[in-house]
Amino acid sequence: MWKFIVRRLVITFPQLILLSVLIFLLAQAMPGDALTGLVDPNIDPATIDEQKEKLGLNKPWYEKYIEWVGGVFQGDLGQSFRYKIPVTDLIEERIVNTFWLSVATLIFTYMIAVPLGMISGRYNDTILDSSITGYTYIGFATPLFIFALVMLWIFGYHLQWFPTGGSVAPELKPGTLEYVLSRIQHLLLPALSIALIQTVSTVQYLRSEIVDTKQKDFIITARAKGASESRVYNRHILRNSLLPIAAFFGYEITTLITGTIFIEQIFSFPGMGQLFIESVLQRDFSVVNAVVLLFGAAAIVGALLSDIILSIVDPRIRIK
């Protein structure tokens, strides 16, 4: 187990290096720079070039990459040209919101997906199964940003059950009960919007596992020995079907990355996804590089976490 983890971590390091290079090159390939749109085009070009030289924008990409990587290893992700503060401070303000949004989304996803998948798999080829499967087909066909806009219009603007933007009501003191309840209320609608779409793949996956497991030889043997149907289902079918779902947990993290980018922008939720979109539009490359690097690292860690969880919960797997 430990050898496997160490080996995967060793592989992860060059992946992160390659990811950082690609991120930096793509950011540099974008048209314009940090001064684009911020200076008067009628200003003398020599003055603009002087400002670029002062900010280091005229340096070759490899020199800027080496400086950036050196800062990353020291915990310095650079300076935001737009917000005029260190990128580390800017990310610290936003990453907490994205973290809690992701946690709430994962909780809702499994609260919805596991019961629906269990029911659909146990009573497959029934009207109940067809209804659940129909929901998953609609979920697969519905773009997340369209579904989020509909949720925002219905439950935010029309029914006014949830706030339509922000992460907490203004003028509330952190640590108070009102503050905590306000944060939860602001989380519910964005998290449900992601979960109701993200859950469909887990429902279909669990249903397929249950249907497939019901046809295994050891299930037929258990029934032949006179075991009750509830015992066969709970002790044999469900237990073996849930193992792949446990491993699937790590890959949910990678799905959340793209989900939060759209959702935070739609709900004006001040998290990493909204920061990423704003930074791309404003050509704040130091922030773009840092955010994408964190997203990429989260995806790699999520894949590693899936392998570790599967090796722990499934006794048939022996990774040495």
Q: Is 142 helix (H, G, I), strand (E, B) or coil?
A: coil
Residue 169 has pLDDT above 70, yes or no: yes
Q: How many helices (H) and strands (E) does the chain have?
A: 12, 0
Residue 220 has pLDDT above 80, yes or no: no
In this predicted structure, which of 34-38, 81-85, 119-123, 147-151 has the lowest mean pLDDT?
A: 34-38
Give pLDDT, residue 60.
67
CB 251 within 8 A of CB 302: yes
Higher pLDDT, 82 or 109: 109
Mean pLDDT, rounded, for 196-224: 79
Structure tokens, 177: 């009960």
Task: Quote the pTM value.
Answer: 0.75
**Those residues with Cβ within 8 angstroms of residue 62's Cβ, 6 or more apart along the chain or in another chain:** none
